[in-house]
């Protein structure tokens, strides 16, 4: 791993640079595929599925038979684990339900806010080297709690034209019946425009590689909302001599095995810990089935030594990690002063893996520094806040003159007239 000692503040941007391509490098490819899908629908989806996933498909939609078969292809132990995770995720997200907010701002002017579900949502579930069935729980469970009417799921097929049975089982468990064998840019395009098979949605959720991330951003140009720009996974750990080096190394590797463009960073005020963690990473990585992927991610990762807690927290907030583990004696300082992070894991016995699967928090989080302005997925991600107001005769008398003065000052006479007519009618 790359060891960096006391980096100068002026060099932080370079030190913390992610190993990702620029949007410009990918955008042209995305635009070409989007235009083709918009014009030719399913035929183009099948062409790109053959090109990228190496399989010819007659139909894109998963059948009831495939769903039934999936239930027999995974173990009872895995089914139980998925159901435990689902229960915890449901418990946490149900707790996020908020009631109607109602207030009378002045006598006769009643304002309130209510939340309504987004009617049609699309879920993108990566397949490839790791079938992320856990992401279905993170997206479908809050979507159901919110009351979304239509939930569409896209995931890339394997070379046999199948989707991993755990993905199908989890989708079925969550009540999703519209499941399509489409991945990558073309899946995002399909949900953006709608095709003969895939319905158009109003908002797209889910992580993916850099191409999927850019495709989601391009989708916003066509009036489709997205959860956030969620790209390659990343983890930052801050640790001192109270941390267990083996635990820290295991956490770093847990994210490194996601993909070759993942990034993991250790920030520490202890050179001894940094040396111990580096040794543990070298030892543990040899035992991983995905060693080649993890090693490439580790090559892009950093071990950063700083002399004090203040420099450490400033650097962490500058990075804005997706996942952030705090294993230090002075944990309150770090927790209280962290302002940019997707999800925070506190203490030696809180692995990031817990949030990925079964603690209850959501693992769909902002990456690439977007934690500075985006939240992770939560119940409100699947809802819209709508405001309402009802004004009585007394109410319009109370605020009418202020409206008239402000409208006239802005040069909007029709706005003023809409109030003036009402006020005049009340004088007779």
pLDDT tens sequence for the chain (428 residues): 899 999 999 999 999 998 766 677 789 999 999 999 999 999 999 999 999 999 999 999 999 999 999 999 999 999 999 999 999 999 999 999 999 999 999 999 999 999 999 999 999 999 866 789 999 999 999 999 999 999 999 999 999 999 999 999 999 999 998 999 999 999 999 999 999 999 999 999 998 888 998 999 999 999 999 999 877 889 999 999 999 999 999 999 999 998 888 999 999 999 999 999 999 999 999 999 999 999 999 998 999 999 999 999 999 999 999 999 999 999 999 999 999 999 999 999 999 999 999 999 999 999 989 999 999 999 999 999 999 999 999 999 999 999 999 999 999 999 999 999 999 999 87
User: Which residue is it, tokens 């991610």?
Assistant: 297
pLDDT given for residue 13 in this prediction: 93
Closest CA to 129 of 248, 288, 274, 267: 288
Closest CA to 43 of 171, 198, 176, 160: 198
CATH class of 2-19+232-360: alpha beta
CATH class of 23-107+117-228: alpha beta
Contact indicator for 22, 324 with CB cutoff of 8 Å: no
List the catalytic residue out of 280, 322, 352, 363.
Answer: 322
User: Which residue is it, tokens 């399913």?
Assistant: 42
CA distances from 302 to 235, 297, 298 (A): 11, 10, 8
List the catalytic residue out of 93, 164, 323, 363.
Answer: 323
Rounded to the nearest 10 degrees, how much is the dihedral formed by the CA atoms of 26, 29, 35, 37? -100
Q: What is the largest CA-CA distance in the chain?
A: 88
Is 322 a catalytic site residue? yes
CA distances from 155 to 277, 324, 389 (A): 36, 28, 43
Return the DSSP state at 297: H
pLDDT given for residue 23 in this prediction: 73
Binding site listing: 124, 186, 209, 233, 255, 258, 323, 356, 410, 415
pLDDT given for residue 21 in this prediction: 62
pLDDT given for residue 413 in this prediction: 98
Model pTM score: 0.93
Task: Look up residue 191 and give its two tokens.
Answer: 């949900």
Binding site listing for substrate: 233, 255, 258, 323, 356, 410, 415
Binding site listing for Zn(2+): 255, 258, 356, 415
Q: What is the 3-state secondary structure (H, E, C) of 250-281?
A: HHHHHHHCCCCCCEEEEEECCHHHHHHHHHHH
Rounded to the nearest 10 degrees, how much is the dihedral formed by the CA atoms of 125, 127, 133, 135? -40
Is the domain spanning 392-425 CATH 3.30.1050.10? The answer is: no
Question: Which segments of the chain belong to CATH 1.20.5.1300?
Answer: 392-425
Task: Look up residue 21 and give its two tokens.
Answer: 């391509």
| 226 φψ region: left (φ > 0), alpha (ψ -120 to 50), beta (else) | beta
Q: How many CA atoms lie within 13 A of 290 on its CB side?
A: 16
Task: State phi, psi for 236 to the nearest 5 degrees.
Answer: -120, 130
Question: Which segments of the chain belong to CATH 3.40.50.1980?
Answer: 2-19+232-360, 23-107+117-228
Sequence-distant (6+) residues with CB within 8 A of 270 are 239, 240, 241, 305
pLDDT given for residue 73 in this prediction: 96
Helix (H, G, I), strand (E, B) or coil at 50: helix
């Amino acid at each position: 791993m790359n060891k960096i000692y006391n980096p100068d503040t002026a060099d932080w941007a370079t030190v913390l640079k992610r190993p990702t391509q620029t949007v410009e490098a990918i955008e042209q490819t995305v635009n070409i595929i989007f235009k083709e899908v918009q014009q030719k629908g399913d035929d183009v989806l099948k062409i790109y599925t053959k090109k990228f996933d190496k399989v010819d498909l007659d139909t894109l939609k998963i059948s009831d038979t495939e769903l039934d078969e999936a239930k027999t292809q995974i173990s009872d132990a895995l089914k139980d684990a998925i159901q435990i995770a689902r229960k915890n995720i449901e418990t946490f997200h149900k707790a996020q339900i908020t009631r109607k907010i109602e207030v009378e701002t002045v006598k006769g002017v009643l304002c309130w806010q209510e939340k309504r579900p987004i009617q049609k949502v699309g879920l993108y579930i990566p397949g490839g080297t790791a079938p992320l069935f856990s992401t279905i729980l993170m997206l479908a469970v809050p979507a159901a709690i919110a009351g979304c009417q239509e939930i569409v799921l896209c995931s890339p097929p394997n070379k046999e034209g199948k989707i991993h049975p755990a993905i199908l089982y989890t989708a079925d468990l969550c009540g999703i019946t519209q499941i399509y064998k489409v991945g990558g840019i073309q899946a995002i395009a399909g949900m953006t425009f709608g095709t003969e098979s895939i319905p158009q949605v109003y908002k797209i959720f889910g992580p993916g590689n850099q191409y999927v991330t850019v495709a989601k951003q391009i989708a916003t140009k066509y009036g489709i909302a997205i959860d956030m720009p969620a790209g390659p996974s990343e983890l930052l750990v801050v640790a001192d001599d109270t941390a267990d080096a083996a635990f820290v190394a295991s956490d770093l590797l847990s994210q490194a095995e996601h993909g070759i463009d993942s990034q993991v960073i250790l920030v520490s005020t202890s050179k001894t810990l940094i040396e111990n963690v580096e040794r543990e990473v070298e030892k543990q990585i040899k035992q991983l089935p995905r060693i080649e992927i993890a090693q490439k991610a580790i090559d892009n990762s950093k071990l950063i030594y700083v002399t004090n807690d203040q420099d450490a927290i400033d650097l962490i907030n500058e990075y804005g990690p997706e996942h952030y583990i705090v294993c230090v004696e002075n944990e309150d300082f770090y927790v209280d002063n962290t302002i940019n992070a997707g999800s925070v894991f506190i203490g030696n016995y809180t692995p990031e893996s817990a949030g990925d699967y079964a603690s209850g928090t959501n693992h769909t989080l902002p990456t690439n520094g977007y934690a500075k302005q985006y939240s992770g997925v939560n119940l409100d991600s699947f809802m819209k806040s709508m405001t309402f107001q009802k004004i009585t005769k007394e109410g319009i008398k109370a605020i009418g003159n202020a409206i008239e003065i402000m409208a006239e000052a802005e040069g909007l006479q029709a706005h003023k007239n809409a109030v003036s007519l009402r006020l005049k009618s009340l004088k007779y």
